[in-house]
Structure 1
Amino acid sequence: MNIQKNAWAYITRKKHRTFIIFLILMFILTSLFTCLTILNASQQIENNVFKISNSSLSITKNDSSSFAMKDFEQLKSIKEIEDINPEYQSLAKLVDHQVIEGEQQIFREDTPEQLSNVVDVQATNDSQRDLLFSSGVFTLVAGQPIQSDSQHHVLVHQAFADKNGLKLNDTIRLQLVDTESLNVHETMEYTISGIFTGKKQESYTGLSSDFSENTFFVDYQTSQEQLRLNKDQMITNKLTLHTDSVENLESAHEQIKNLPIDWSKYEVEKNDKAFQKTLTALQSMQQIIEIVTNAMILGGLIVLSLILVLWLRERIYEIGIFLAIGMSKKVIISQFILELLLVSLPAAVLSFILGWQLNQFFLTDFFNSITNESIGSQMLPIENIGDNLTHFGMAYGLLLVIIFLAVMLSCSIILLKKPKTILSEIS
Structure 2
Amino acid sequence: MGSFKRAVLYITRKKKKSILMFFILFCIATAVLSGISIKKATSIARQNSSKETANTFEIQNNLATNFTGTMPESLVNKVSKVNGIKNYDASVQGIGLVFKQLQNVEPKNNTVQYTDKQYKNLFPVEAHKFTEYDTKFMSKSFRLVEGRHLVEGDKNKVLVHKALAEKNNLKVGDRIIGTKDSLDYNASKDAPSEYDLEIVGIFESQNTDRMGSKLEIPENLILSDMNTLNALYGYSKGNSQYTSAVFNTNKNVDDVISDVNKIQENWSLYNISKSDDTFLALSKSFDSLEKIVNMLLIGSIIVGIIVLSLVLAFWIQGRIHETGILLSIGVGKFKIISQYIIELLLISVLAFGTSYFSSKMISQNIGDAMVSQASKQAVQEVQQGFGGMSLGYDANTSLATQTVDGIDVDVSLKEVLYVYAIGATIIISSVMISSSSIIRLKPKEILSKMS
Same fold (TM over 0.5): yes
* Residues 192 and 361 of structure 1, relative CA distance in 2, 3 Å threshold: closer
1:260 alignment partner, one of 259, 262, 278: 262
Could you say which structure has the larger radius of gyration?
A: 1
Which of 359, 362, 380 does residue 406 from structure 2 map onto? Answer: 380
For 1:124, the equivalent position in structure 2 comes to 129
Change (3 A) 1:195 1:306: closer
2:57–2:248 Cα contact (<8 Å) kept = yes
* Separation in 2, partners of 1:368, 1:280: 13
Deviation at 1:44, TM superposition (A): 4.3
Write the letter of the residue equivalent to 1:41.
Answer: A
The residue type paired with residue 71 of structure 1 is: K
Work out the CA distance in 1 between the residues paired with 2:118 and 2:143.
Answer: 25
Could you tell me how far 1:323 is from its partner in structure 2?
A: 3.3
2:78 corresponding residue in structure 1: 71
Q: Does 1:200 align with 2:211?
A: no
Does residue 333 of structure 2 align to residue 318 of structure 1? no
Partner of residue 398, structure 1 = 422
For the 8 Å contact 1:53–1:275, the answer to whether it is kept is no
The AA in structure 2 aligned to 1:217 is S
Structure 1 contact 88–124 (Cα < 8 Å) conserved: no
The whole-number CA distance in structure 1 between the counterparts of 2:202 and 2:450 is 89
TM-score, scaled to structure 1: 0.64
Task: Indicate if the aligned counterparts of 1:120 and 1:215 stay in contact, CA closer than 8 A.
Answer: yes
Counterpart in 1 of 2:58? 58
1:233-283 superposed Cα distances (whole Å, 9 cap, x missing partner)? 998553114699xxx99x749955983244224222467788434665665
Q: Which runs of 5 or more residues in structure 1 are unaligned?
A: 106-118, 203-211
Displacement, 1:364? 4.1
Q: For 2:241 and 2:189, how far apart are their aligned partners in 1?
A: 18
Q: Distance in 2 between matches of 1:334 and 1:324?
A: 17
Match of 1:264, SS?
A: helix
Please state whether the residue corresponding to 1:58 is helix, strand or coil: strand
Cα displacement string for residues 364-423 of structure 1 (whole angstroms, at most 9, x for unaligned residues):
466457759xxx99933333453xx33333333222111001111122234334445544
> What's the offset of the Cα at 1:354?
1.4
Query: Match of 2:262, as an amino acid?
Result: P
Letter in 1 for 2:11: I
Q: Which amino acid aligns with 1:354?
A: S
Which secondary structure does the structure 1 equivalent of 2:215 belong to? Answer: coil
Provide, for residues 61-118 of structure 1, a one-character-per-residue CA deviation record: whole Å limited to 9, x for no partner. 534142323421475538xxx8632336799x9xxx9999x9659xxxxxxxxxxxxx
Q: Does 1:240 align with 2:243?
A: no
Q: Is the partner of 2:409 in helix, strand or coil?
A: coil
Closer/same/farther in 2, CA of residues 83 and 409 from structure 1, 3 Å limit: farther
DSSP-derived class of the 1:381 partner? coil
| Aligned twin of 1:17 | 17
Question: What CA distance in whole angstroms lies between the structure 2 residues aligned with 1:335 and 1:150?
Answer: 79
Deviation at 1:154, TM superposition (A): 1.8
CA contact (8 A) 1:145 1:193 kept: yes
Matches within 5 A, 1:270-285: 275-277=279-281, 283-284=287-288
**1:154 alignment partner in structure 2:** 157
**What's the counterpart of residue 114 of structure 1?**
none
TM-score for the superposition, normalised by structure 2: 0.61
RMSD value, Cα: 5.7
- The alpha-carbon distance between structure 1 residues 149 and 368, as it changes in their structure 2 partners (threshold 3 A), is farther
Q: 1:377 to 1:349 in 2, by over 3 A?
A: farther
Shift of 1:22: 1.1
Percent identity, aligned pairs only? 26
What's the secondary structure of 1:380's corresponding residue? coil
Contact 2:90 2:246 in 1 (8 A): yes
Provide closer, same or farther for how the CA distance between residues 89 and 377 of structure 1 changes in structure 2, counting only shifts above 3 A: closer
> Which deviations, in whole Å up to 9, do the C-alpha atoms of 1:322-366 show, x marking residues without a partner?
334443333222221110011112212332211211113223466
How far apart in 1 are the matches of 2:415 and 2:197? 53
Could you tell me how far apart the structure 2 residues matched to 1:258 and 1:390 are? 45
Structure 1 residues 278 and 303, CA, compared in 2 at 3 Å: closer, same or farther?
Answer: same
Residue of structure 2 aligned with 1:358, choices 340, 356, 362: 362
Deviations 1:209-231 (A, max 9, x none): xxx999651279xx9xx9766xx
**C-alpha separation in 1, matches of 2:262 and 2:403:** 43
Taking a change above 3 Å as real, the CA distance of residues 279 and 237 of structure 1, as seen in their structure-2 partners, is: closer
Query: Displacement, 1:59?
Result: 0.8
Residues 160-213 of structure 1, C-alpha deviations (whole Å, 9 max, x = no match): 99xxx9974478999xxxx8998999xxx99642367995359xxxxxxxxx99
1:14: Cα distance to partner?
Answer: 0.9
d(CA) in 2 for partners of 1:66 and 1:354?
59
Amino acid of the structure 1 residue aligned with 2:334: K
The question of whether the paired residues in 2 share the 8 Å contact of 1:66 and 1:237 is answered with no
Letter in 1 for 2:435: C
Secondary structure class of the residue paired with 1:363: helix
AA paired with 2:149? I
Residue 12 of structure 2 aligns with an amino acid whose one-letter code is T
